[in-house]
């Protein structure tokens, strides 16, 4: 017997972490909620607000159809509400929030026919990469990859002493648009440099020796090309580091920029935001910690 309604809370995530393109991600304590209520009409209706775009509504229907197909549950109508603090097209995993939230809530509504691993595979197929969906599902720092059609990942808890200072400018950058800027081939030396850093970043998060993170988030595969749409990237990161941060990176495909720090997080936020102010761009700084819980059903 199906539940009458379900609400789930899903964390934002920062992905790539510089060199870890489509591989590394961290869940953050900035959340949105997806609520699903079964209805008599055999349609999937997204009712969160009057500004819901056709693309957002289509995404919701797509993930619902994928869930019913994968679970072999007879499709039923549902009203779906999405609300919260994760900005759309901001580089903080908003599409993974919606896709995972809808799939997870439908699964809960229908008696959990799919295991979490199957839900992650489903969402990753729609996202085309697991670096946002995996941390949103299980929390913490995650290294993930699709291997033979399924997602393999390892996650590690992140202490509250690490702060993630995120500057979210008041404009959007679509992932599809920034991916068109990426080259089809890269020099071997650039690929090797990224591999070096990804291995070290993963080992450091696994062992907890975070002081060694400094200088490891340089990237040669995507940030230099995406910077064409986000020209302040280098200046914002440099300002954060000068104010005390360990390092910084473009969060996902942007436009949000993030610095990681163990100290002076307010000074780091002010320095990063100051770059935008000088450029006449409004932005919202957030001082966040990692979300080690991942997606959760909200109990009434």
Alpha carbon 224 to its chain centroid, in Å, reads 20
What was the pLDDT predicted at 177?
A: 72
87, 94, 127, 286 from 283: Cα distances, Å: 12, 17, 27, 10
What was the pLDDT predicted at 186?
A: 93
HSE (side-chain half, CA atoms, 13 Å) at 132: 30
What was the pLDDT predicted at 180?
A: 82
| Phi then psi dihedrals of residue 222, to 5 deg | -140, -35
Supply the pTM of this predicted model: 0.94
Q: Can you list the residues of the chain whose pLDDT is less than 50? A: none
Q: Which domains are present in the chain?
A: 5-157+291-297 (3.30.230.10), 163-288 (3.30.70.890)
Distance between CA atoms of residues 217 and 34, nearest Å: 33
Distance between CA atoms of residues 98 and 103, nearest Å: 8
62, 64, 94, 122, 207 from 126: Cα distances, Å: 9, 11, 13, 7, 32
What was the pLDDT predicted at 139?
A: 98
């Amino acid at each position: 017997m199906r539940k009458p309604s379900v609400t789930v809370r899903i964390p934002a995530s920062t992905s790539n972490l510089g060199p870890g393109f489509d591989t590394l991600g961290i869940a953050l304590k900035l959340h949105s909620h997806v609520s699903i209520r079964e209805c008599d009409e055999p349609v999937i209706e997204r009712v969160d607000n009057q500004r819901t775009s056709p693309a957002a509504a289509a995404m919701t229907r797509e993930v619902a159809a994928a869930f019913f197909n994968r679970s072999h549950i007879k499709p039923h109508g549902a009203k779906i509400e999405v609300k919260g603090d994760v900005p759309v097209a901001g580089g903080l995993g908003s599409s993974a929030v919606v896709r995972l939230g809808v799939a997870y809530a439908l699964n809960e509504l229908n008696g959990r026919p799919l295991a979490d691993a199957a839900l992650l595979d489903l969402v990753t197929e729609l996202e085309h990469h697991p670096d946002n969906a995996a941390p949103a599902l299980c929390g913490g720092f995650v290294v993930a990859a699709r291997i033979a059609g399924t997602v393999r990942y390892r996650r590690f808890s992140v202490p509250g002493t690490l702060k993630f200072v995120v500057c979210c400018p008041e404009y959007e950058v679509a992932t599809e648009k920034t991916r068109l800027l990426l080259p089809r081939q890269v020099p071997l030396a650039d690929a090797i440099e990224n591999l070096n850093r990804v291995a070290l970043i993963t080992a450091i998060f696994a062992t907890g020796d975070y002081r060694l993170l400094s200088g490891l988030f340089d990237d040669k595969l995507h940030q230099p090309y995406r910077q064409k749409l986000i020209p302040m990237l280098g200046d914002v990161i440099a300002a954060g580091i000068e104010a005390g941060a360990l390092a910084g990176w473009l969060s996902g495909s942007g436009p949000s920029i993030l610095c990681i720090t163990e100290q002076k997080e307010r000074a780091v936020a002010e320095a990063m935001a100051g770059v935008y102010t000088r450029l006449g761009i409004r932005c919202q700084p957030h001082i966040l910690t990692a979300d080690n819980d991942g997606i959760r059903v909200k109990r009434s």
